[in-house]
Amino acid sequence: MRLWLPPLALCALATALRFYRIGAQSLWYDEGISAHQVTRSFADVARAAALDTHPPLYYWLLKIWGDIFGQTELGLRSLSAVLGVAAVGLTWLIGRRLFGAGVAAIAGLLVGCSPLAVYYSQEVRMYALVLACGLLATWAYLRRGPVLFALAAAATLYSQYLGVAYLAALHLHALVWWRTRSRRDWLRWLGANAVAALLFLPWLPTFLEQSTERALNTSPRTPGELLRETLAAYGGGAARGDLPLLGGALLVALALLGGVLAGRQRRNAASLALLVWLTPLALVVALGLRSGLFEVRYLLLSVPGLALLAGLGTEWLAIAAGRSVRRVAAGPSPAAAGAVAAVLLAAVLIPAATSLSRQYFDPALARDDYRGAVRAIESQAQPADAVVLIAPNQAEVFSFYYHGGLAVYPLPAQRPIDDADTRQRLEALRAGHDRVWLLAWAVAEADPHRVVETWLAQNGFQASHAWYGGLQLELITLQGEGGTLEPLNLPLDNGIDLEGYRLATRFLAPGDTLPITLVWRARDVPTERWKVFTHILDARPFVVAQRDAEPDGDLRPTTSWRAGERVEDHYGIAIPADLAPGTYTVEIGMYQGDRRASFAGRGDHLVLGTIAVSARQ
């Protein structure tokens, strides 16, 4: 029983870290794709996976899991958490067989507390599954269990294609140490591989077709970038900074030490750990150098091998310290060895602990907040509003949170985008809706020419803009081109003239949007970027509503203007739903940081008159 206390304790710690705040963050885009798969039949899951870039095993398991434990954030993410705990237990089993209980405990602790491993054990994606399957295949390889290996190897391939790196590591090790296997062992090994290949054969044509798809908007990474990203991910998961970088560097140093100084009797075992670390790492780095297809999550596969060698290096240093004390004492000092091991582990675990805290609580590291964006829409939406989604596949994660009645328009309808068709769809949308909620993500890939945003900026009035992680939410009013242009021809001291303005209306109700059109002209080519402020003030005068942005919804910064160019610039100011009826003043101006541009003879702001807000009938 005492033998199993360490792995049980490690799994308990891993469980606590992986389930802590597991539902605190919203599902993001990729997780939404996974969650939507649960709503399909098993056959439809396979067909949908074939159109994507991943095999179907994770989605099948998730469908079963979600039906049992619920299709909530906790229910869906808990599958990855359980698989992450299994990976810790498998790391301990592999470490004990290779190096003994001491190294196994250290390696299990490092994987259990790894911020990278914890992060992807709290995500509705297949990375925890492929890691667990790869480790299971490694365990079966060590046990020389052909049936278990065949099943685990096939499951690895059906989980995520990068899992092939684990299988490649095992095959390389078998070839290097071929003399350690009998003829019977080799026949069983070859038979297990044949069974695994036959199990994957039905999916092979789909894999070959998927492998021809090219990643968009990627460029090769430099070796220096990859080194920094890798070390920081090893030490801090999603967190960045000097401390995670140092933690990752120490882990790698300990692993290299363990690999280099492994004794003759441990060379076989150390070479396997080295291959399980470096083969997945080499594949990920090669992808980054060749095509830029480098993602931190792919490094997860190399963490157990790194932890096993780091445990071996820690043990070697601890033993060396104990032997050093023996030279001045009567015998070896377990206390000295334990102290060295504790110090080394603390040096690695302190960066890990701070990074875990940041992953749990730092908003800057939170996943894209679709949950928050949907709440904002639901709290302010009007019945005739529409929702436009860029990229269109956001419909899957959006529908996980939104169950209301607003019309939803995923755009563009094609990939690559058809500019003319997209504009026609937007014109048709305008005929039926006064306001649009634009939810934008990965615009550079879905709409590289920014057709949708440009059309909305030219034909609408942006009333609000907010970031929810890497997700943008904008409220745009499409009606409001009425009103006559009020000529001004006022020069500003930044080389720009305000030719005039147009207010579509001066009578509004709470919840409406005040459309403002400002007409600028550049006297010369502007050399600085200026933002525009539009304010509504009460009698005190305090700002009660505002909209600040660069011209044309941030699409036309002043530095892009040509000399003499006339720019029509649209703004929408959302009238707060709780604003008291009364008369309010409208003012506008330009600023850069803390400095405002001055209008000739008018000061640093210009009053456009008043508006009347009355209770909604």
553 pLDDT higher than 90? no
Q: Does the CA dihedral 252-98-160-186 come out positive or negative?
A: positive
pLDDT at 214: 56
Q: How far is CA 237 from CA 273, 306, 469, in A?
A: 21, 14, 17
Q: Which neighbouring-strand residues pair with 517?
A: 502, 570
Written as six digits, the tokens of 600 are 């000739």
Q: Which amino acid is at 304?
A: P
- The pLDDT value given to residue 474: 95
How far, in Å, CA of 58 to CA of 162, rounded? 14
Helix (H) or strand (E) holding 467: strand 461-468
C-alpha pair distances (Å), 390 with each of 393, 409, 411:
8, 9, 5
Higher pLDDT, 288 or 374: 374
Measured N-to-C along each axis, helices 451-459 and 419-432 cross at an angle, to the nearest 10 degrees, of 40
Q: Is the pLDDT of residue 267 over 60?
A: yes
CA distance 550 to 496: 14
Confirm whether pTM is higher than 0.75.
yes
One-letter amino acid for residue 355 of the chain: S
Tell me, what's the pLDDT at 481? 61
pLDDT at 41 over 70: yes
Secondary structure class of 558 (helix, strand, coil): helix
Distance CA(553)–CA(568), nearest Å, equals: 11
250: left (phi over 0), alpha (psi -120 to 50) or beta: alpha
Strands (E), 193-239: none
Per-residue pLDDT band for 283 (boundaries 50, 70, 90) equals very high
Cβ atoms 552, 570 nearer than 8 A: yes
Tell me which residue of 399, 457, 387, 444 sits closest to 417, measured CA to CA: 444
Distance, CA of 176 to CA of 469 (rounded, Å): 47
The secondary element (H helix, E strand) that includes residue 515 is strand 513-522
Domain ranges, ordered by start, for the chain: 11-210+219-365, 370-477, 486-613
Architecture of domain 486-613 in CATH?
Distorted Sandwich (2.70)
Stronger pLDDT, 374 or 323, i.e. the higher one:
374
CA distances for 300 relative to 80, 104, 166, 250, 541, angstroms: 13, 19, 12, 17, 56
Name the residue with higher pLDDT: 447 or 318.
Answer: 447
The first and second tokens of residue 530, run together, are: 């200026």
pLDDT greater than 60 at residue 331: no
Residues 6+ apart with CB under 8 A from 262: 269, 270, 312, 316
- Of the candidate ranges 210-214, 359-363, 610-614, the one whose mean pLDDT is the lowest: 210-214
pLDDT value at 92 more than 90: yes
- Mean pLDDT in residue range 313-334: 70
Distance CA 374, CA 87 (A): 35
Supply the pLDDT for residue 332: 52
Q: What per-residue confidence (pLDDT) applies to 266? A: 86
CA distance 116 to 352: 9
pLDDT of res. 307: 97
In angstroms, how far is CA 551 from the centroid of its own chain?
A: 30
Residue with the two structure tokens 């297990």: 192
| Token pair belonging to 413 | 């309808």
